[in-house]
Amino acid sequence: MTGERTAGKPAPDDLYERLKAFEGRTAVQGGEGRDPVNEPMIRHWCEAMGDTNPAYPDIAPPTMLQAWTMGGLAGHPAGSTRTRAYDELFALLDDAGCTSIVATDCEQEYPRPLRPGDRVRFDAVIESVSPRKNTALGSGHFVTTRMDIHVGDELVGTHRFRVLTYAPAHRNPKPKPKAHPEPVAEAARPRPVVNRDNAGFWEGVAEHRLLLQRCTDCGTLRFPWLPGCGRCGSPEWETAEASGRGTVFSHVVMHHPPFPAFDPPYAVGLIELAEGVRMVSGITGVPYDKVRIGMPVELEFLRVDDAKGTMELPVFRATAEEAV
Ligand SMILES: [Zn+2]
């Protein structure tokens, strides 16, 4: 049970002081890449990703960084290089009720490209532990570790990895019987994560426009919004407004697991826009079991009023004869 003090358990502030003391301590020491950077792994990666950049495999795609540090399913042949400090930190969090963990984000830097033949070694440090935070998942601490990857004495990459360790919030508490029944407030729909990479898309939605990105170097349209062009790598782009016409390219019907604010079964479509890009979207105006591949759909904006307020989302309405 969280929020209650029991004998022997540190008070929350004491706990934070104890967690904080782990900052700067080593989490992984003396790690060695299982394989040297090599052309076959680069080729497989590029094929899986559809990355045809001609710079590869003379250099490795920078985002392959972890391919060279992870041990694979069998682990590193020399055994784990994780330190006791790292295990002690997570044992402390576990004892404090933070028994769940979720990876939240990662940041990488690539000081120089890796080339076939490079042999990487790596160390990691516990960079920071946040004060207690309340999140939708529950209350807990963000832990950031930073891995430094070297070839010889040269730093070739850093990998910052952040997790949230938390005490799960109680879900679906049993409703208490009420003497005078009241209308039950509908569960709030999840909100989109708006960041600097996709803010323009949501500004478009606010004006009832569906905005795509178009690379101003090679003209390729893209969706979802990303900082760079998947075809030529250019960071330069402009917006292009979609016509709103499309067809169902593929779809699934959600039965399980149930999510608050959603009423299964319902259809989720992969919509191919007339402009050629695809987006995942709700499908309206047709029963879930009447959605068909190739069905024409048209953009509309769904207004959601719930406990968190009002929000609008782009969805696609079936325009075929199955529509109701
Ligand atoms: Zn481009």
Digit-coded pLDDT (tens) for 74-110: 777 777 788 999 999 999 999 999 999 989 999 999 9
CATH number at residue 19: 3.10.129.10
Same domain, 161 and 221: no
103 and 48 in a single domain? The answer is yes
* Residue 132 and residue 89 share a domain: yes
Q: How many helices (H) and strands (E) does the chain have?
A: 4, 14
d(CA 15, CA 5): 12
Residue 185 lies in a domain: no
Q: List the shell of residues around ion ligand 1, using CB closer than 5 Å.
A: 215, 217-218, 220, 229, 231-232, 234
The total number of structural domains that make up the chain: 2
Rounded to the nearest whole angstrom, what is the distance from the C-alpha of residue 296 to the centroid of ligand 1?
29
Residue, of 184 and 188, whose pLDDT is higher: 188
Q: Please tell me whether residues 66 and 211 are part of one structural domain.
A: no
Could you tell me if 16 and 163 lie in one domain?
Answer: yes
- Phi-psi region for residue 45, left (φ > 0), alpha (ψ -120 to 50) or beta? alpha
Residue 184 to residue 235: CA distance in whole angstroms: 47
pLDDT for 52 beyond 60: yes
Per the prediction, the chain carries an average pLDDT of 88
Range of the domain at 254: 199-318
Q: Is the pTM of this model over 0.75?
A: no
Assess if residue 173 is contained within a domain: no
Residue 22, Ramachandran bin (φ over 0: left; ψ between -120 and 50: alpha; else beta): alpha
The answer to the question of residue 107 being in a domain is: yes
Q: How many A from CA of 218 to the centre of ligand 1?
A: 4
- 142 and 217, same domain (yes or no): no
In the block, which residue shows the tokens 């169902």?
Answer: 248
Q: For residue 301, give both structure tokens.
A: 């904006």
Which amino acid, one-letter code, is at 122? F
Give the pLDDT confidence of 247-288 residue by residue, as tens digits: 999 999 998 877 778 888 999 999 999 999 999 999 999 999
**Could you tell me the distance, in angstroms and rounded to a whole number, from the CA of residue 232 to the centre of ligand 1?**
4
Q: Say whether both 24 and 105 belong to one domain.
A: yes
The per-residue pLDDT for range 120-160, each reduced to its tens digit, is 999 999 999 999 999 888 899 999 999 999 999 999 999 99
Burial grade of 59 (CB within 10 A; 0-12, 13-18, 19 or more) = middle
Q: Distance from the CA of 56 to the center of ligand 1, in angstroms?
A: 18
137 in the same domain as 208: no
**What's the confidence (pLDDT) of residue 167?**
92
**324 is a domain residue:** no
Q: Is the pLDDT of residue 118 over 70?
A: yes
Q: Which residue has the higher pLDDT, 281 or 193?
A: 281
Strand 133-134 relative to strand 138-151, pairing: antiparallel
Does pLDDT of 189 surpass 60? Answer: yes
* Domain boundary pick from 148, 168, 188: 168
pLDDT of the residue at 186: 62
Rounded to the nearest angstrom, the distance between the alpha carbon of 213 and the centre of ligand 1 is: 10
CA-based radius of gyration for the chain: 25
SS3 call for 317: strand
Chain segment 206-241, per-residue pLDDT in tens: 999 999 999 999 999 999 999 999 999 999 999 999
